[in-house]
Amino acid sequence: MKNLSLICTQCEKQYPIRRSHPRCDACGEPLAVEMIRGRINEGNSLTQTVFERYANFLPFATEDSTVSLGEGFTPLMESHTIARALGIRRLLFKNETQNPTWSFKDRGTVVALRHAMILGYNRIGTVSSGNMAVSVAAYGARAGLKTVTIVGGDIPSEKLNPIAVYNPVLIAVDGDYGDLYFRSLELGQQHDIYFMNSDVPFRVEGSKTIAFELCEQLEFTCPDYVIVPTSSGGNIRGILKGFEEFKLNGLIDTVPTMVCVQAQGCAPIHEAYRTGTGHVSRVPHPSTIAHAIENPFPPSGNEVLRKLREHGGIVTAVSDEEIIRAQGELAGEGIFGQPASAVSLAALKKLLRDNVVQEDASVVCIVTGSGLKYTAAFEKHRFSVVHTVPGELDRLVATRF
C-alpha cells in the first residue's frame, strides 16, 4: 500500500490504510482514503487495465491486474436525438452497462478486492440489492476467494440467478435492508470476512476512475454537470473525489457541478437536502421501480450532503413514471439501462424544466447498470407488436412505413 491514511469524512480522525472496517470509531461516519497526488501513466489504453492507467491515483504501491475482469474504459456517447429534443447544447451518456458484470460496481469491487487480498483476507462479502452482489460474486470467483452475498428477502427472482451462477454463499434476509449494511460489518469483524459494501473507502476509490475516464474522453475539459443515480452515496463520492484529485494535480481547471438524483419513492438524501437538516433520516416504506437505488438509510448520505454543500452540488428526485419514460428514451438512442440508471436522464429533464440547468450547458448522465438485469420493468412499458400472417406482410409493410 502507498503511505496514505484513511480519514473520517466527518471528524477527520485518521486511521491506518490497512484497516478494513470502513467507519469511524469515534463518530460512526464513513472513512475515505486521503487525497492522492499523481499523474496519469502514459501507455496504450487499449491494453491497459484501470489499475495500470491510473496506478498513480490508486492507493496501491504496486501494479497488479491479476484479478481484473477488464472493468472500466466504458464508452462516453454523444446524444443526438434526446439532446435535440431537449434543446440542450451537449449531452453525453457514460455507459457503465458495458462493464464485466454490466454495472459500474465492478470498478469498486476490483479495487476493494485488491485491498482485501493485500490485507490477507481469503473471505469476502457484500450486502446488495443485486448489482453489487453479482459483481462481488464474479470477482470473488475470479480470485478464488470464498464469497458471501447477502441480499434483501424481497429481491426479485430474476436478480438472484445472475448472482448464484458464480456460486457464492447466497443469503436472502427478510427485514430492513438499511440495517443489513451495519449488521454485515459486525459479521465481518466476528468472522474475518472483508465486507466490500456500497461505500467502503476502497470501493469509493474505484469509482474515481469514472471521473478520470470522463476527463480523458473530454480532452481534459469538464462538463458543466455530472448526474449520478444515488442510493448509498458511494459512487457519487468516488466520482467527485476523482475530479477533485485531477484538479489538485492540475489536470483539470474546474470540478463539474455534481447532481445527486434519487427516486421519489426512496429519497432520504433529497429529503434532507430539501429540508436543510444536514442529516439523512430513514425512509419508513421505500417503494420505487428503481430497486437498485432503494436504500432507505444511505450510509454515505450525510457525507454526500456535506460534499455537495461544499461544492455547490444539486440533489433532486424523480417519479417512477418519469424513470420509465426516460428508460424508453435512452433505448431510443441505443442504450438499454435499468430503471435505476435512467433516473439520471429523468433528472436532467426535470432540472431543465425547472430552469436549474440551462440549455447552453454540457451534461454527462451516468448510466449505471444494464436494463437486462431487471426485465420486470418491461411490464411498465407499452410496447407494440404487430401480429400478422405471411400473406398480409406485404400490405402491412407498405402501409406501416
Q: Reduced to 3 states, what is the DSSP secondary structure of residue 334? A: coil
338 is a contact residue toward ligand PLP (CB under 6 A): yes
Residue from the set 24, 36, 112, 132 that interacts with ligand PLP by CB under 6 A: 132
Find the helix packing angle between 301-311 and 268-275, rounded to 10°.
Answer: 50
Residue 316 binding: pick among Zn ion, ligand PLP, none (C-beta 5-8 Å cut-off by kind): none
- Choose the stretch contacting ligand PLP; rule: CB under 6 A; options: 29-37, 68-76, 109-117, 223-231: 223-231
By rule CB under 6 A, what string of x and - marks binding of each residue 155-194 to ligand PLP? ----------------------------------------
198 binds, among ligand PLP, Zn ion, none (CB under 5 to 8 A by kind): ligand PLP
Options 31, 92, 111, 340; binder of ligand PLP; rule CB under 6 A: 340
- Select from 397, 374, 388 the least CA-distant residue to 131: 374
Q: Which long-range contacts (CB under 8 A, 24 or more apart) does 178-183 make?
A: 178/282, 178/295, 178/296, 178/297, 179/297, 180/127, 180/150, 180/152, 181/127, 181/232, 181/295, 181/297, 181/299, 182/299
* Grid cell at residue 27: 463518530
Residue where the block lists cell 459512487: 235
Write the binding mask 24 to 53 for Zn ion: x where contact by CB under 5 A, - elsewhere. x-xx--------------------------
DSSP result, 149-183: EEEETT--HHHHHHHHTT--EEEEE-S-HHHHHHH
CB of residue 336 to ligand PLP, shortest distance in Å = 12
One residue of 196, 293, 308, 324 binding ligand PLP per CB under 6 A: 293
Starting at the earlier edge strand, list the strands of the sheet with 146-152.
169-173, 146-152, 123-128, 194-195
Candidate list 151, 369, 371, 377; residue touching ligand PLP; CB under 6 A = 369
Grid cell, residue 228, equals 449520478
Segment lying near Zn ion (by CB under 5 A), choices 4-12, 209-217, 331-339, 363-371: 4-12
Least distance to ligand PLP from the beta carbon of 119, Å? 22
Compute how many other C-beta atoms are within 10 angstroms of the C-beta atom of residue 279: 9
Q: Among 140, 234, 256, 268, which residue sits at the site for ligand PLP (rule: CB under 6 A)? A: 234
Q: Cell match 454490466: residue?
A: 102
Q: Which residues bind ligand PLP (CB under 6 A)?
A: 103, 131-132, 198, 229-236, 292-293, 338, 340-341, 368-369
